[in-house]
């Protein structure tokens, strides 16, 4: 029987199974492989986090990730970890959009002078409240 792996060859030699019948060698190879996988899993530094999502939630995550041209797992990891370099780009569009809309309306109206001072101050107060709510939720 041909053995390509040096580690497996050493394992079989240690157990004096190099010249043993084929069925004994195959059993030893299965035991070695099982032991090898167990050691590999223990040495692996990564851990898993499994969460349950509804189909709609999963579809939303995939859709948002597609908008940013990244895999949905990368998007979810960035949002969960609140990775400022990645997640802020994603959250900005969804979370601050109402604030940007109010500021835009106020700016356009002030340039065109189509709103009274009172109406303009109401819009700016609404923008301020949206921003304060965002800050309070973040910290």
pLDDT beyond 70 at 138: no
Is residue 11 included in any domain, yes or no?
Answer: yes
Query: With DSSP H G I counted as helix, E B as strand and the rest as coil, what are the percentages for the chain, rounded to 5?
Result: 75, 0, 25
Distance of CA 127 to the CA centre of its chain: 31
Is residue 65 included in any domain, yes or no?
Answer: yes
| Least trusted range by pLDDT, from 20-24, 53-57, 131-135 | 131-135
**CA dist., res. 9 & res. 6, Å (int):** 5
Is residue 1 included in any domain, yes or no?
Answer: no
Q: Are 87 and 111 in a shared domain?
A: no
The pLDDT tens digits of the residues spanning 90-100 come to 555 566 777 77
The pLDDT tens digits of the residues spanning 70-113 come to 899 888 888 888 765 555 555 555 667 777 778 888 888 888 88
- DSSP 8-state code for residue 115: S
Range of the domain at 34: 6-43
Contact 129, 122 (CB under 8 A): no
State how many domains the chain has: 3
The pLDDT tens digits of the residues spanning 29-60 come to 999 999 999 998 888 877 778 889 999 999 99
**pTM score > 0.95 for this model?**
no
Q: Which residue has the tokens 């390509």?
A: 4
Q: Are 87 and 101 in a shared domain?
A: no
């Amino acid at each position: 029987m041909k053995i390509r792996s040096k580690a497996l060859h050493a394992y079989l030699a240690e157990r004096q199974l190099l010249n043993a019948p084929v069925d004994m060698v195959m059993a030893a190879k299965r035991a070695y492989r099982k032991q090898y996988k167990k050691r590999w899993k223990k040495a692996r530094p990564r851990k898993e986090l499994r969460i349950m999502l509804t189909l709609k939630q999963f579809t939303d995550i995939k859709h948002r990730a597609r908008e940013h041209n990244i895999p949905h797992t990368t998007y979810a990891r960035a949002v969960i970890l609140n990775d400022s370099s990645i997640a802020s780009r994603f959250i900005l569009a969804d979370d601050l959009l109402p604030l940007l809309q109010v500021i835009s309306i106020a700016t356009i109206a002030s340039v065109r002078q189509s709103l009274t001072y009172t109406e303009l101050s109401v819009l700016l107060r609404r923008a301020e409240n949206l921003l304060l709510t965002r800050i309070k939720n973040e910290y």
